[in-house]
């Protein structure tokens, strides 16, 4: 049985405002780390004592040190530590798998994405591999469950490429497929009907560039956000193109999109094959592309799982519950088919 040990760390430089932001109101941030890692954290001044298992102590010390760096003063004010930042720091520490991160430190530095609003860093090995593939391949697929950062990191890479003038424009698109609702019943003209489908892309851009900058770039057509149907007949050069929610493309639409890509262009296709909203019996263009393009040079695939979810921890548990239910249902259907087949053979 593993034995509890303890470790003391000192956070420097001493700054009461930064330390208050690290701990959170009523020490809420520390309580979250304690609950998630199974450790006890106490402090006097800027000296923190952590009690727990050796691997969880090391992770908690790393988390506290990294979050304290995040509180660094900007324009005279210590930066706040949000619930999301605490969660991402815990995921990044990889302690929930009870093994140290195998990712090389230099590799982690190389993949840091800089935007004017701050630095965006992949939070786990799968995200790092994904960003690496986006940077080194013409076409990259990010396939996996919700909350794994597929779209967010793709938009970050696009913004980074635009700011370094590697591309002249960013084009964001997704199929306007109805997820159980009818587009015709939404108020407004076509652009207003389509706009809610593109909202996640807008949100990521606003966070990285700021609202005013995004609006100006859209006015100048440097950033274009449009439904997939508008891509037909175009050739896109010097562009960073992101196709989001690609599980809802038909086979023909996916082929059409992939053949739009021109010289000095990068394309990222993201999607979740467990959430297809196409009519029953119609094959997903994403599923088909995975089968057809698997061994094509210049095309990469990254597959994300529930353990890669970087949203609220309950999201990962929800995803795992759905996966377990689907496996159980498929197994039951398979057994019923075998029993039915056996009865028919007897007759």
pLDDT of residue 164: 83
Instruction: For residue 240, give the nearest of 138, 341, 335 by alpha carbon.
Output: 138
Statement: the pTM of the whole predicted model exceeds 0.75 = no
- Taking every pair of Cα atoms in the chain, the longest distance, rounded to a whole number of angstroms, is 84
> Phi and psi at residue 97, in whole multiples of 5°?
-95, 0
What is the CATH code of the structural domain delimited by 5-97? 3.30.1370.10
User: Which pair of tokens denotes residue 299?
Assistant: 């095309």
Instruction: Using alpha carbons, list the distances in angstroms from residue 307 to 33, 40, 66, 92, 312.
Output: 18, 25, 21, 11, 12
Question: What pLDDT, on the 0 to 100 scale, is given for residue 117?
Answer: 62
- For the chain, what are the domain ranges? 5-97, 105-311, 318-347
| Torsion sign (Cα): 79, 83, 86, 92 | negative
Comparing CA positions, the residue from 11, 9, 21, 10 lying closest to residue 73 is: 21
For each successive 10 residues of the chain (347 residues), what is the average pLDDT? Answer: 78 91 92 87 93 88 90 82 82 54 42 67 82 90 86 90 89 70 49 64 86 91 85 84 92 91 90 85 91 89 79 64 80 80 66
Say what the pLDDT of residue 1 is. 44
Give the per-residue pLDDT at 193.
53
- Give the other-Cβ count within 10 Å of 147's Cβ: 19
Quick one: CA dihedral 54, 56, 59, 63, positive or negative? negative
Whether 238 and 161 have beta carbons less than 8 Å apart is answered as: no
Look at the chain and count its residues: 347
* CATH architecture of residue range(s) 105-311: 3-Layer(aba) Sandwich (3.40)
């Amino acid at each position: 049985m593993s034995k509890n040990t303890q470790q003391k760390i000192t956070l420097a430089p001493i700054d009461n405002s930064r330390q208050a932001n690290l701990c959170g109101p009523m020490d809420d941030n520390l309580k979250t780390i304690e609950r998630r890692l199974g450790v006890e954290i106490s402090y006097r001044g800027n000296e923190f004592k952590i009690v727990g298992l050796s691997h969880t102590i090391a992770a908690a010390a790393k988390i506290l040190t990294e979050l304290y760096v995040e509180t660094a003063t900007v324009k005279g004010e210590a930066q706040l530590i949000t619930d999301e930042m605490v969660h991402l720091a815990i995921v990044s520490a990889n302690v929930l798998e009870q093994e140290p991160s195998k990712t090389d430190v230099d590799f982690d530095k190389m993949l840091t994405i800089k935007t004017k609003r701050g630095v965006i860093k992949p939070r786990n090995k799968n995200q790092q591999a994904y960003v690496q593939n986006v940077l080194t391949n013409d076409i990259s697929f990010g396939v996996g469950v919700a909350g794994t950062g597929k779209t967010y990191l793709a938009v970050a890479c696009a913004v980074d490429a635009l700011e370094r003038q590697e591309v002249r424009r960013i084009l964001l698109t997704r199929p306007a497929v109805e997820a159980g609702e009818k587009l015709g019943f939404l108020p407004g003209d076509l652009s207003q009907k389509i706009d809610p489908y593109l909202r996640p892309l807008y949100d990521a851009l606003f966070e990285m560039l700021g609202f005013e900058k995004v609006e100006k770039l859209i006015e100048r057509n440097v950033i274009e956000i449009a439904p997939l149907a508008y891509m037909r007949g175009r050739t896109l050069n010097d562009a960073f193109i992101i196709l989001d929610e690609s599980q809802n493309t038909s086979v023909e639409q996916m082929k059409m999109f992939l053949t739009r890509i021109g010289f000095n262009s990068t394309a990222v296709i993201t999607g979740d094959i467990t959430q297809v909203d196409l009519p029953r019996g119609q094959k997903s263009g994403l599923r088909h592309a995975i089968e057809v393009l698997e061994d094509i040079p210049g095309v990469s695939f990254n597959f994300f799982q529930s353990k890669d979810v970087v949203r609220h921890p309950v999201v990962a548990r929800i995803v795992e519950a759905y996966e377990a239910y689907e496996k159980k249902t498929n197994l039951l259907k398979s057994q019923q088919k075998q029993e039915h087949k056996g009865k028919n053979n007897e007759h």
